[in-house]
């Protein structure tokens, strides 16, 4: 009797925590501007701290990385240069600076890993129709996670990457792709999402799950179950946003390419 109760309790905590996180994200997304910048900056700094723990660096180098990471995030503020090419260059420069000073390329990569998604989200929100565009980006990752979870639990079957994440299955991957595509169709039908973005949704779902697998690999290398403990039922912020990390820059690149063409 005890086992099932714990499982149900864990799912309840995870669901409630997830709903709160979604509500906070939607509120910041609706407010845009400074509100979205504050949320993305705070999340990025927590992720960078968790990244330092995963790559097992010493506290002094971790503090240096956090201080350095503040610089490009501050420049992204709408009160500064905003999500500009200057901010993009500063991310790259800061990543090189941290790499050279600490002699640990993984710490420099961590700067880019957390700052590029923040820049991408702020860029997307500032576009014409940016509210829908950013909502689609976030919701695609959420739909992928939900679809993969339920398809994997219900269908099971062959493992997707057993040496990296034993719980993930091919059924889960397909379920996530289908869920993302259905979400795109719904937003196209009722919110006016462009049809080409609907057909990009399955690709983004695959990218999201690659991001999930990458973070699972990092945790396996570090010998930990979660990247942190800040989010009840979810672990760390990296655990919750691992799919969004590659998806947000991918969407931003897609929009930039569309503008150039």
Give the mean pLDDT of 52-80: 93
Residues 255 and 214 in one domain: yes
163 HSE (CA, 13 A, CB side):
1
Q: Are 149 and 255 in contact (CB under 8 A)?
A: no
Lowest mean pLDDT among 27-41, 52-66, 203-217: 52-66
Dist CA 101 CA 64 (whole Å) = 9
Residue 111, pLDDT above cutoff 50 = yes
Does position 2 have pLDDT exceeding 50, yes or no? Answer: no
5 pLDDT exceeds 70? Answer: no
Does residue 209 share a domain with residue 88? no
Residue 58 has pLDDT above 80, yes or no: yes
Kindly report each contact of residues 53-60 with a partner whose C-beta sits within 8 Å and lies 24 or more positions away, as own/partner: 53/222, 53/224, 53/227, 53/228, 54/218, 54/219, 54/221, 54/222, 54/224, 54/227, 54/238, 55/104, 55/106, 55/107, 55/110, 55/218, 55/222, 56/222, 57/102, 57/104, 57/107
**What is the token pair recorded at 156?**
């099971």
pLDDT one-digit tens code per residue, 223-239: 888 888 787 767 889 98
Overall number of domains in the chain: 2
Burial-class residue 101 by CB neighbours within 10 Å (0-12, 13-18, 19+): middle
Task: Please check whether residues 144 and 254 belong to one and the same domain.
Answer: yes
Lowest mean pLDDT among 8-22, 143-157, 167-181, 207-221: 8-22
Residues 170 and 102 in one domain: no
Q: What is the extent of the structural domain holding 198?
A: 127-261
For residues 121 and 131, state if they share a domain: no
- Of 66-70, 82-86, 123-127, 218-222, the range with the lowest mean pLDDT is 218-222
In the chain, % of residues over pLDDT 90: 75
How confident is the model at residue 79, as a pLDDT?
A: 93
* Rounded mean pLDDT, 78-87: 94
Q: In the predicted model, what is the mean pLDDT of residues 141-148?
A: 95
């Amino acid at each position: 009797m005890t086992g099932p109760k714990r499982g149900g309790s864990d799912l309840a905590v995870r669901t409630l925590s997830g709903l709160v996180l979604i509500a906070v994200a939607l509120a910041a997304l609706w407010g845009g501007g400074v509100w979205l910048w504050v949320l993305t900056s705070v999340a990025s700094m927590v992720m960078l701290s968790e990244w330092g723990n995963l790559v097992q660096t010493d506290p002094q180098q971790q503090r240096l990385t956090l201080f350095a990471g503040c610089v490009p995030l501050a420049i992204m503020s709408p009160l500064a240069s905003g999500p500009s090419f200057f901010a993009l260059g500063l991310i790259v420069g800061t990543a090189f600076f941290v790499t050279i000073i600490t002699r640990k390329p993984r710490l420099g990569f961590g700067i880019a890993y957390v700052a590029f998604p923040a820049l991408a989200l702020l860029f997307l929100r500032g576009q014409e129709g940016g509210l829908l565009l950013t909502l689609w980006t976030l919701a695609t990752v959420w739909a992928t996670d939900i679809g993969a979870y339920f398809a994997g639990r219900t269908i099971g079957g062959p493992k997707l990457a057993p040496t990296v994440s034993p719980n993930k299955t091919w059924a889960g991957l397909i379920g996530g792709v289908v869920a993302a595509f259905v979400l795109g169709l719904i937003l196209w039908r009722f919110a006016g999402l462009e049809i080409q973005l609907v057909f990009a949704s399955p690709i983004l779902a695959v990218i999201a799950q690659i991001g999930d697998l990458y973070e699972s690999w990092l945790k396996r290398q570090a010998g930990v179950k979660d990247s942190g403990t800040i989010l009840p039922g979810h672990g760390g912020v990296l655990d919750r946003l691992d799919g969004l990390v590659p998806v947000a820059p991918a969407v931003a690149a897609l929009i930039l390419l569309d503008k150039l063409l």
